[in-house]
Amino acid sequence: MSDAVFEEISGLLQKGKAKDIVVAVQKALDDGVPAGDILEKGLISGMGIIGGKFKNGEVFVPEVLVAARAMNHASVVLKPALAKAGVQPVGKAIICTVKGDLHDIGKNLVKMMIEGNGIEAVDLGVDIAPDKVVEAVKTSGAKVLCLSALLTTTMLAQKDVIDALKTAGLRDKVKIMVGGAPVTQSYADEIGADAYCPDAASAAEVCRSFY
């Protein structure tokens, strides 16, 4: 099978061509291209390229957002075919902004990049208390937890979540990733997180590596 169809879908995603990518994905399905291949070689490949460019400063938040929107449009068409083919998400990750913090742009970018890597994201939202995170870890079956904090005053809440998971006996159930403007690798080490991610693209790579 020619790679041209995957390159076209990847290219449309990178350009954020939501309407065109829907047509291209549907045509590929109609032509008998396996849904799993469209996902991996077209959509996930395209988001990977966008992620790399974002990390290198070649594209910025608006370009990532339009690419993610195109990915979402394509996913609507693709999901029934993936389900029919028995293709499952790579894994599941919980994501939230911690207690006291209402910032969501960074969290949303990470969520989009994670989903662009074939991982289902359980988005708890912003200003999330430790007990809610504990409950989500207990019930969701997710193997990864992503904690965002954008303020120096709220980054301590990342430690509160980790402590609450230890108390609940669930710390070893999940890999914990932390990020946000004030967060550093040394802070992540200090609070016992499994990974520090400086940007959304890195977060998606690290999250995928845990599966």
**Residue among 75, 74, 78, 76 at smallest CA distance from 22:** 74
Instruction: Say whether both 139 and 120 belong to one domain.
Output: yes
Q: Quote the domain boundaries for residue 112.
A: 91-209
Mean pLDDT for all residues in the chain: 95
> How many whole angstroms separate alpha carbon 176 and alpha carbon 89?
19
Instruction: Say whether both 182 and 130 belong to one domain.
Output: yes
> How many whole angstroms separate alpha carbon 61 and alpha carbon 16?
12
Does the pTM surpass 0.75? The reply is yes
Q: Tell me the pLDDT tens digit for each residue of 128-140.
A: 999 999 999 999 9
> How many whole angstroms separate alpha carbon 159 and alpha carbon 147?
10
Residue 9's domain is classified under what CATH number?
Answer: 1.10.1240.10
Instruction: Say whether both 23 and 109 belong to one domain.
Output: no
Instruction: Say whether both 99 and 75 belong to one domain.
Output: no
Quick one: three-class SS letters along 178-194? EECCCCCHHHHHHHCCC
Instruction: Say whether both 124 and 50 belong to one domain.
Output: no
Please give the pLDDT value at position 47: 94
Instruction: Say whether both 122 and 199 belong to one domain.
Output: yes
Strands, DSSP E only, in the chain? Answer: 91-98, 119-128, 144-148, 175-179, 195-196
Q: Which of 52, 84, 116 is the last residue of a domain?
A: 84
Instruction: Say whether both 162 and 112 belong to one domain.
Output: yes
| Three-class DSSP category at 16 | coil
